[in-house]
């Protein structure tokens, strides 16, 4: 619950607007209506406007433009500089100019030039995916093959061993379920793939439960805002 | 293949080759430490993508602007979208500029603080081509007194009346101003102790004190201005747009999905097969393990939930992820080598 200073008209307005916006979105639960549509579009507009400024403010300006324009260099009282200008930074102009090719997308004649830069981006994402796969998946794969019999203090830890066996069995059976390179004819293979399917259902169920709880947490937060913050603000506004 | 197709495919290949080589090659190649430039090169790649920011803006303007001009269906919605877009751009841009101005207002002081440190460093490394340390100290002293005087005047001129008298910010501001006055006095004292005449044994402890006190003055002055700025009209409009609209609309939208999920669950989770029963049970146990009421009934639900999530769920999800990652890798290589480029090359005359 936010401590609202009702005497502060801006704070009061922020809470009131927040409540109206929340109710406008929830009005969709009754049926689709123009108020919901307007607020939905307003949200997209605000998010896009914020995103544009944010990307310039947090990335382009401090990391590229400030060093490129030498704005981070201080001139000391004796005429010396805090650091000299790095002329290699001028190379950033190349990707900037290259990135401007995106705007040929609107030209019929030179539209193909936009595809050069889009292709470049696709290629870069392909290269990154290659790197990402080996950096992310290989360690995970290594760690997935746990010891099937776990000893603790010289004795077999049955529960942990069972967990590890189940983990490896689940991993292999689910992977096998998606293995379509050859036909599964034996009963053993079919049973193994089938158990993968069952275990996947447990995974989906657990996922579903977690997702529902996350959404419910947001819903509870919104309802708390409406009850604890918005309705007292409304009462204050109408002098109740 | 015509030359345009060739150029597109060449650039697609070039786009991916850097990250591929960066992964397969060692950091040092032919005596050159290549990996030290990785950050700058990666930024270059991001710059290419960042240039497309305007593309989104142009598309929004074209789609929604035409709806408004020709008064097509949904023109009011488009008007709401564009007004939200431009209002937020203007307001968050203004807030950013104000932040920059506040940083610039103390730039001279922070620059002098680093100069105080530089004088000592240059003397220790016997840097050539610079004036003697005592001359530089004198220059620092003169410039710092002038800059501190200007800063003091600018802080004293600030209009404190916009702050509500009983607010926590008002108390904070009073304490900041008190600390600022103390820091100003400390800076004056430290500057007075700077060695401004030649000595056999130069002592740079005063330079260190000057650096620290000037940094404190700069920090406090910026904080004072930041507290006051919270009460400026533009900042309040920003809070109204961000907290009142952006945050509220965002969380309301996502919480709305909770209802859709519940409706979907009603259709999907009806006990019609053993598999759906299993799914329902897993979901139920995970949800029960997270709500206080069920924990009040039996606290074992939490352990079951954690076990479900850490053992069968992690294993099955990892298997799906590995499969998807292999497919993603194949797709990425096909994209990189322009094997998957038919649909991409379609549409424009090449």
**Which residues of chain B make contact with A13, given a CB cutoff of 8 A?**
240, 244
Subunit contact B50:A106, Cβ cutoff 8 A? no
**Chain B nearest CA to A36, separation (Å):** 10
Q: Assess whether pLDDT exceeds 70 at residue B348.
A: no
Closest-CA residue of B relative to A88 is B40
| pLDDT of residue A185 exceeding 90 | no
Residue B210 reports pLDDT greater than 90: yes
Indicate left, alpha or beta for B195 from its phi (over 0: left) and psi (-120 to 50: alpha). Answer: beta
Q: Closest to B240 (Cβ–Cβ): which among A13, A175, A207?
A: A13
Cβ-Cβ contacts under 8 Å, A141 against chain B: 322
In this structure, are B128 and B225 located in the same domain? yes
Contact B249 A19 (CB under 8 A): no
pLDDT of residue A240: 63
Of B14, B84, B312, the CB nearest to A166: B312
Q: What is the tens place of the pLDDT at every residue in B89-127? A: 999 999 999 999 989 989 999 999 999 999 999 998 988
**Domain boundaries along the sequence of chain A:** 99-144, 147-240
Segment A125-153 mean pLDDT: 88
A positions 31-60 inside 8 Å of B (CB) = 34, 37-50, 52-57, 59-60
Paired tokens of B42: 């990666």
Which pLDDT score, from 0 to 100, does residue B292 have? 87
Whether the predicted pLDDT of A87 surpasses 90: yes
At B344, the pLDDT band (50, 70, 90 cuts) reads low
Question: Which two three-digit tokens encode residue A2?
Answer: 């936010």
Q: Which of B140, B255, B277 to mutate to test the interface with A (most CBs of A within 10 A)?
A: B255
Distance between B183 CA and the closest CA of chain A, angstroms: 22
Which domain-ending residue is among B54, B85, B116?
A: B85
Cβ under 8 Å to A: B residues 305-324 = 305, 308-309, 311-323
What tens digit of pLDDT does each residue of B35-47 get? 888 888 999 999 9
pLDDT interval class at A76 (50, 70, 90):
very high
Rg of chain A on CA atoms, in Å: 29
Residues B116 and B219 in one domain: yes
DSSP string, B293-347: HHHHH-THHHHHHHHHIIIIIHHHHHHHHHHHHHHHHHHHHHHHTTTT-HHHHSS
pLDDT at B335: 87
Mean pLDDT of chain A: 90
ipTM greater than 0.90? no
Q: What is the DSSP string of A6-29?
A: TT-HHHHHHHHHHHHHHHHHHGGG
The 10s digit of each residue's pLDDT in B162-192 is 777 777 888 898 899 999 999 999 999 999 9
Alpha-carbon distance of B276 to B273, in angstroms, equals 5
Q: Does residue A74 have a pLDDT over 80?
A: yes
What's the predicted TM-score (pTM) here?
A: 0.84
Contacting residues for A185 by C-beta, under 8 A, at least 6 apart? none
| A82-86, B78-82, B136-140, B154-158: segment of lowest average pLDDT | B154-158
Partner A, chain B 145-204, Cβ-Cβ below 8 Å:
164, 167
Contacts of A9 (CB under 8 A, 6+ apart): none
* Per-residue pLDDT tens over the stretch B124-163: 898 888 899 999 999 999 999 999 999 999 888 888 777 7
Between CA B345 and CA B350 the distance in angstroms is 8
Residues in chain A closer than 8 A to B77 (CB atoms): 37-38, 40-41
Q: Which residue has the higher pLDDT, B163 or B279?
A: B279
Task: Say if B127 falls within a structural domain.
Answer: yes
Q: Does the pLDDT value for residue A1 go beyond 60?
A: no
Tens digits of residue pLDDT in A146-163? 889 988 888 889 999 999
Residues of A in contact with B245 (CB under 8 A): 17-18, 21, 42-43, 46
Same domain, B66 and B120: no
Render pLDDT for B7-33 as a digit per residue (tens, 0 to 9). 999 999 999 998 888 888 887 877 888
Residue of A nearest to B345 (CA): A115
Express each pLDDT in B258-268 by its tens digit: 888 878 777 77
Give the closest-approach CA distance of A195 to chain B in angstroms.
11
| Gap between the terminal Cα atoms of chain A | 20
Residues of B in contact with A16 (CB under 8 A): 244
* Selection from B134, B133, B138, B143 nearest residue B111 by Cα: B143
Residue B244 in domain: no
B207: in domain = yes
pLDDT reported for residue B120: 92
Q: Is B287 part of any domain?
A: yes
- Mark out the alpha helices in chain B (DSSP H runs): 3-24, 38-50, 53-69, 75-105, 107-124, 133-156, 168-192, 205-229, 233-239, 248-268, 274-288, 292-297, 300-308, 314-336, 342-345
B286 touches chain A (CB under 8 A): yes
Grouping H, G, I as helix, E, B as strand and the rest as coil, residue B32 is strand
CATH of residue B141: 1.20.120
- Whether residue B236 is contained in a domain is answered as no
> How far apart are the C-alpha atoms of B252 and A215, rounded to whole Å?
10
| pLDDT score of B315 | 93
CA distance B186 to B180: 10
Cα A19 from Cα B342, distance rounded (Å) = 49
Residues B185 and B223 both lie in one domain: yes
* Residue B111 CB partners (closer than 8 Å, separation 6+): A74, A75, A76, A82
The answer to whether position B96 is within a domain reads no
Q: Which of B170, B204, B231 is the last residue of a domain?
A: B231
Which chain A residue shows the shortest CA-CA distance from B350?
Answer: A112
**Residue B197, domain member (yes or no):** yes
Q: How far is CA A91 from the centre of its chain?
A: 31
Residue B243 in any domain: the answer is no
Tell me whether residue B99 is exposed, middle or buried, using C-beta atoms within 10 angstroms of its C-beta: 0 to 12, 13 to 18, 19 or more. Answer: middle
Q: Identify the domain boundary among B197, B231, B265.
A: B231
Q: Is B93 on the interface with A (CB under 8 A)?
A: yes
Confidence of residue B347 (pLDDT cuts 50, 70, 90): low
Q: Domain containing B22: what range?
A: 3-85
Per-residue model confidence (pLDDT) at position A39 = 96
- Which residues in chain A touch residue B114, judged by CB atoms under 8 angstroms apart? 74, 82
Q: Given its phi and psi angles, is residue A85 left (phi above 0), alpha (psi -120 to 50 degrees) or beta?
A: beta
CA distance B155 to chain A (A): 23
8 Å CB contact of A116 and B7? yes
Q: In this prediction, what percent of chain A has a pLDDT beyond 90? A: 62
State how far the Cα of B81 lies from the Cα of B329, in Å rounded to an integer: 38
Picking from B2, B7, B16, B132 by the largest number of A CB atoms within 10 A of its own CB, the best residue to mutate is B16
**Among the partner residues B255, B274, B308, nearest to A218 by beta-carbon distance:** B255
- Helix or strand or coil: residue B29? strand
Question: Chain B residue with minimal CA distance to A145?
Answer: B315
**What is the total count of domains within chain B?**
3
Rg of chain B over all Cα atoms, to the nearest angstrom: 31
Mutation target for A interface from B15, B21, B68: give the one with most A CBs within 10 A: B15
Q: Quote the CA–CA distance of A90 and A97 in Å, as a whole number.
A: 12
Cβ within 8 Å, pair A117-B53: no
**Residue B115, pLDDT score:** 94
Q: For A10-37, what is the mean pLDDT?
A: 93
Distance from CA of A156 to the nearest CA of B (A): 19
């Amino acid at each position: 619950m936010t401590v609202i200073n009702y005497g502060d008209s801006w704070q009061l307005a922020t809470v009131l607007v927040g409540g109206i916006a929340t109710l406008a979105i929830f009005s969709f639960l009754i049926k689709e209506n123009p108020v919901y549509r307007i607020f939905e579009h307003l949200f997209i507009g605000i998010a896009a406007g914020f995103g544009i400024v944010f990307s310039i403010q947090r990335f382009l300006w401090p990391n590229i433009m400030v060093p490129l324009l030498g704005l981070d260099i201080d001139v000391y009282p004796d005429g010396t500089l805090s650091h000299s200008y790095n002329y290699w930074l001028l190379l950033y102009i190349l990707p900037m100019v290259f990135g401007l090719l995106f705007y040929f997308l609107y030209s019929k004649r030179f539209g193909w030039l936009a595809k050069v830069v889009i292709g470049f981006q696709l290629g870069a994402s392909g290269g990154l995916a290659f790197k990402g796969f080996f950096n992310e998946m290989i360690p995970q794969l290594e760690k997935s093959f746990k010891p099937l019999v776990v000893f603790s203090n010289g004795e077999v830890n049955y529960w942990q061993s069972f967990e590890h066996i189940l983990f490896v069995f689940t991993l292999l059976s689910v992977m096998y379920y998606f293995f379509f390179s050859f036909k599964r004819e034996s009963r053993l293979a079919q049973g193994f793939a089938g158990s993968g399917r069952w275990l996947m259902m447990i995974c989906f169920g657990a996922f579903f439960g977690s997702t529902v709880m996350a959404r419910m947490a947001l819903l509870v937060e919104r309802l708390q805002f409406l009850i604890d913050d918005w309705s007292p603000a409304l009462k204050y506004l109408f002098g109740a | 293949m015509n030359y345009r197709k060739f150029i597109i495919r060449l650039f697609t290949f070039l786009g991916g080759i850097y990250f591929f080589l960066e992964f397969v090659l060692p950091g040092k190649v032919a005596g050159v430490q290549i990996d030290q430039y990785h950050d700058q090169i990666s930024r270059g790649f991001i710059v290419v993508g960042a240039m497309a920011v305007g593309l989104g803006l142009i598309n929004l303007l074209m789609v929604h602007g035409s709806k408004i001009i020709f008064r097509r269906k949904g023109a009011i919605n488009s008007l709401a979208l564009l007004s939200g877009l431009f209002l937020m751009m203007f307001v968050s841009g203004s807030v950013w500029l104000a932040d920059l101005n506040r940083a610039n207002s103390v730039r001279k002081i922070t620059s002098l603080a680093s100069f105080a440190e530089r004088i000592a460093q240059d003397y220790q490394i016997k840097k050539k081509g610079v004036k003697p340390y005592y001359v530089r100290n004198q220059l620092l002293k003169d410039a710092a007194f002038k800059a501190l005087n200007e800063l003091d005047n600018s802080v004293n001129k600030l209009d404190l009346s916009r702050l509500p008298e009983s607010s926590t910010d008002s108390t904070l501001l009073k304490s900041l101003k008190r600390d600022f006055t103390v820091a100003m006095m400390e800076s004056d004292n430290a500057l007075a102790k700077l060695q401004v005449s030649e000595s056999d044994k130069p002592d740079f402890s005063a330079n260190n004190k000057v650096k620290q006190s000037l940094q404190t003055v700069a920090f406090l002055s910026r904080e004072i201005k930041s507290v006051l700025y919270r009460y400026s009209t533009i900042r309040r409009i920003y809070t109204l747009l961000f907290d009142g609209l952006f945050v509220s609309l965002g969380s309301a939208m996502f919480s709305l999905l909770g209802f859709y999920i519940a409706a979907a669950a009603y259709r999907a989770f009806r006990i019609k097969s053993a598999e759906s029963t299993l799914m329902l049970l897993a979901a139920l146990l995970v949800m029960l393990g997270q709500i206080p009421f069920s924990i009040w009934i039996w606290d074992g639900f939490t352990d079951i939930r954690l076990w479900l999530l850490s053992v069968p769920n992690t294993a099955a999800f990892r298997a799906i992820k590995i499969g998807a990652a292999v497919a993603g890798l194949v797709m990425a290589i096909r994209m990189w080598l322009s094997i998957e480029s038919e649909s991409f090359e379609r549409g424009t005359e090449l």
